[in-house]
Structure 1
Amino acid sequence: MTYEEFNQFCGALPATTHVVQWGGAHVWKVGGKVFAIGGWSKDKQPAFTFKVSDLNFDFLRDLDGYIPAPYFANRGMKWIQQISTSRELDDELGYYLSESYRIVSLGLSKRLQKELGIQPQT
């Protein structure tokens, strides 16, 4: 997935906002909370960072093409960075980005969810 495709995917999710910050990273938020970041790779290749469940963190952290996300995982947060951007992983990335959006949306207050017009599934 390219950064352009990443931005199109995240932008298609309801009530999301985009900002470029933290050294030029593409940061996507819902309700003001980050759910996905495009950027921060060490070798200038695309890299994508997203929040995951405890189970997915345990699974992905040792899988080729994924690492615990710099900064986030070092602080005990369950965030993963996909560092392999082969086309074969695009469907997986779409799934994990959608899951990250869902997880972060569930953490928003019911009032804010209603204001944003989103109803995350549990």
Structure 2
Amino acid sequence: MTAKRKQGMTVAQLDALCGNWPGVTRDVKWGSNLVFSVGEKMFVVTPEDGGEGGRLSFKVEDDRFLELTDQPGIIPAPYLARARWVLIAEPQRFDTAELASFIRDSYVLVRAKLTKKLQASLGELPVEPRSKP
């Protein structure tokens, strides 16, 4: 019997995933968007109440931006596309593990742009999320 894979990501799952990563802060911006940041730089945004389908926006590598935005359900993030952010309008269409990997990659990308001194003060990077069989 094959176990059903988990799909999507709730606000609680997002908080459990990255809320304790080194240097991560969370706050609400633009009225109702929950923003996770490292070194005061955003790396993932979602509606605070899980509304709008629980959409997720996050930074991706420059060379993956076009590849990802060619996939159904992923578009350039409004206002942030020039910084290579994508928006997943329906996260429930994606594996939770895949979304976790995207979010960790976003954290790593944003953290890499911080000063070397700040990066060193944050300690080790979070471990890559593993998907369960």
* TM-score of the pair, normalised by structure 1: 0.85
1:60 maps to 68
Partner of 2:95: 89
* Residue 34 (structure 2) pairs with residue 26 (structure 1): yes
TM-score (norm. length: structure 2): 0.78
What residue in structure 2 maps to residue 111 of structure 1?
A: 117
Cα distance, 1:12–1:61 mapped onto 2, change above 3 Å: same
Structure 1 segments, 4+ long, off by >3 Å, are none
State whether residues 108 and 125 of structure 2, in contact with CA within 8 Å, keep that contact through their aligned partners in structure 1: no
Quick check: 1:35–1:100 contact (8 Å CA) kept in 2? Answer: yes
Residue from 33, 56, 71 that aligns with 1:48 = 56
In 2: Cα distance, 1:56 partner to 1:83 partner: 18
Give 1:80's aligned residue.
86
Greater RCO (Cα-Cα under 8 Å, separation 6 or more): 2
In the TM superposition, residue 28 of structure 1 has moved relative to its aligned partner by 0.5
Length, aligned pairs only: 116
Indicate the RMSD between aligned Cα atoms, in angstroms: 2.0
Larger radius of gyration: 2
Query: What is the aligned-residue identity percentage?
Result: 36
